[in-house]
Structure 1
Amino acid sequence: MIAAGFGHAAIAQEHYPTKPVTLIVPFTPGGSNDVIARVIGQRLSQIWSQPVIVDNKAGAAGSIGTDHVAKAPADGYKLLITNNNTMSINPVLLPKTPYAVARDFAQVTQLGAVPVVLVANSNVKATTVKELVALAKATPGKLTYASSGSGSPQHLSAELFKAMTGTDITHVPYKGAAPAITDMLAGQVDLQFGAINSLLPHIRTGKLRALAVGGTQRASLLADVPTMAESGLPQYDSEIWLGLAAPAGTPAAVIKRINADITKILNEPEVKEKLAEQGIETRPSTPQEMTKLVEKDTARWASVIKSAGIKAD
């Protein structure tokens, strides 16, 4: 009877999915997490011949939706769209985070990345990172940078930059990216480390000046803008990544199937193009590579949070 039970389990995994699958997005509709979930979900439903439902469960900086999946059955029918906040920052920054990443989740794959760009408003007398560092050191505390909130990826990206360059730049936190950009355009704040999809329209019109890209490779939408490494900071690495996770204990065969199908989707030219238009670069990976990315990111941001004394809003 036991052997027969295992046999039925293997058959179920081989034919996964046999019913609708839900992708939980722990943020409101419209953001990068939501965009990539809907693009991938549409293609998965075609490949699997099963409905793939995108369900937005926002709140508590992504913790509500993330915890919902942590407590879901480990059968592959409820999956989580992840990012730096939910997997690497919240567990360090928010003491009451209800889930533990290593205990509660199996990483499935990286989905993509949204490049982080360092921009300056037109009043700042610097066109390169080198010039900006010189200016900041000549006028300590005078330059300001905006973020979408204390403990946000934008905030941490700037604090990492300050630590690596030994500069004193004043943080001006906002409640969201939109008001931060509005004040930058008005010249009330000097700098910002922000997501490329939010800043690109203003870079293209010349209202904001892109000084560098935070990741280890140039952004396809800003191919003429150097990376931080090319600008003299070889150890700097900051981008907003997107991933997929399942509840811990999900059968390996199910994870393998999901990973293979999503890798295929992310390599399709039309999918790559559709996501690129939204500022998302596709980055499929193995589950092991994704696990290492989460661990590396958590260690990096934990160090920044501790050294800068960052507290959540």
Structure 2
Amino acid sequence: MRRLFLNTVLGAAAAVGLFSPALAESWPAAGKTMQIIVPAPGGGGTGDTIARLLAEQLTTRLKMPVVIDNRGGANGNIGAVAAAGATPDGYRLLFSWAGTLAVNPSLYRHLPFDPRRDFEPIALVADVPNIIVVNNALPVKDVAALIAYAKTRPGQLNFGSTGNGSSMHLAGELFMRETGSRLVHVPYNAPGLATTNLIANDIQMMFQLVPGIVGQVKGGNVRALAVMSASRSPALPDVPTLAELGYPKLLSSTWFALLAPKNTPPAILDRLNTEVNAVLAMPEFKKRLADLGAVPMGGSRQLLADHLSAETTKWGRIVSEAKIQSD
């Protein structure tokens, strides 16, 4: 499969030289439609929702239909492979996130694509941080107390996640690594069940993503201790960040980005970067992201490339040290 995929990519790379200059000048062409592959099922997940909000605005700005093509499966790998093998003409892109792009290269021994080699960066779009939440019965009111409590009870606190190698799992592994504590990981197939068990005290804590737990925090069903980001979440502005509490290395989030197949003409990539940044600057778009618990990102194409490289190294180390594998 790897050889077939590489042949596809190499064939596309050879072909791009035949049409890229003219394409860059005339892009987008009248009557064309852009497809954005989202490597997850449709149905209202945070990534799918953000991708659709972005597609809606790009449709207006580019004056062509921009549609979402959901390609779920294999933790995002199926959709990523489909996008990497697409013709690099700016009409088929990938909207993906930290797990598929920065974690999977270490999580899977035989990954059929390389996020940094097989794609061109366009722009970071949004960031959704993890947040430390605990059962209300746990006798801790802040992060320092949680760390002290956990360190005196090694292996006695359970934390739930949405599966092996998920953002919530890796956030917990990062927490243990940076604090010297030892927790027990309990993977779930559905985040709703994990949250239900957290409320029932079947598990004592989670490193949830803000959108998945904000309602329970506001309803008083769980206690939020800190957001694992450098800035506070607009959805929970009263919850401190781990950075401001003195734990600058305890940063964990699911970030979302737009990419194109390798060898897409630079002029098209630059135009897309400009348009995405313009969308992210719109007050109404910022408000819609905030309602989801997401923070707008943006910036240059190089910023995304650097961010992907740093995140791949960071989470690769965590995956290796915790001996996590998915195949």
TM-score band by shorter chain is over 0.9
Q: CA deviation at 1:230?
A: 2.0
Partner of 1:126: 140
Query: What does the per-residue CA deviation read over 1:282-305, in whole Å, with 9 as the maximum and x for residues that have no partner?
Result: 111211000111110010111111
TM-score by length of 2: 0.91
Partner of 2:204: 190
Partner of 1:15: 26
Partner of 2:321: 307
Moved over 6 A (4+): 5-8
TM-score by length of 1: 0.95
Q: 1:7 to 1:220 in 2, by over 3 A?
A: same
2 CA distance for matches of 1:6 and 1:24? Answer: 24
Q: CA deviation at 1:8?
A: 7.5
1 CA distance for matches of 2:17 and 2:118? Answer: 24
Q: Name stretches of at least 5 consecutive residues in structure 1 with no aligned partner.
A: none
1 CA distance for matches of 2:174 and 2:19? Answer: 51
Partner of 1:97: 111
Query: What does the per-residue CA deviation read over 1:39-60, in whole Å, with 9 as the maximum and x for residues that have no partner?
Result: 1111111111111011101000
Give the RMSD, CA atoms, in angstroms: 1.6
Deviates more, 1:6-15 or 1:236-245: 6-15
1 CA distance for matches of 2:194 and 2:249? Answer: 27
1:256 aligned onto 2:267: no
Deviates more, 1:104-113 or 1:234-243: 234-243
Which of 206, 218, 224 is 1:210 aligned to?
224
Pairs within 5 Å for 1:162-241: 162-241=176-255
Q: Name stretches of at least 5 consecutive residues in structure 2 with no aligned partner.
A: 1-15
CA contact (8 A) 2:21 2:265 kept: no
Q: 1:83 to 1:143 in 2, by over 3 A?
A: same
Query: What does the per-residue CA deviation read over 1:75-134, in whole Å, with 9 as the maximum and x for residues that have no partner?
Result: 111000010111111111011211011220011100001121000011111111100011
**Among the aligned pairs, what percent are the same residue?**
35
Partner SS for 1:102: coil
Which of 40, 43, 50 is 1:27 aligned to?
40
Partner of 2:9: none
CA contact (8 A) 2:124 2:257 kept: yes
1:137 aligned onto 2:151: yes
* Matched positions, count: 309
CA contact (8 A) 2:34 2:66 kept: yes
2 CA distance for matches of 1:241 and 1:81? Answer: 11
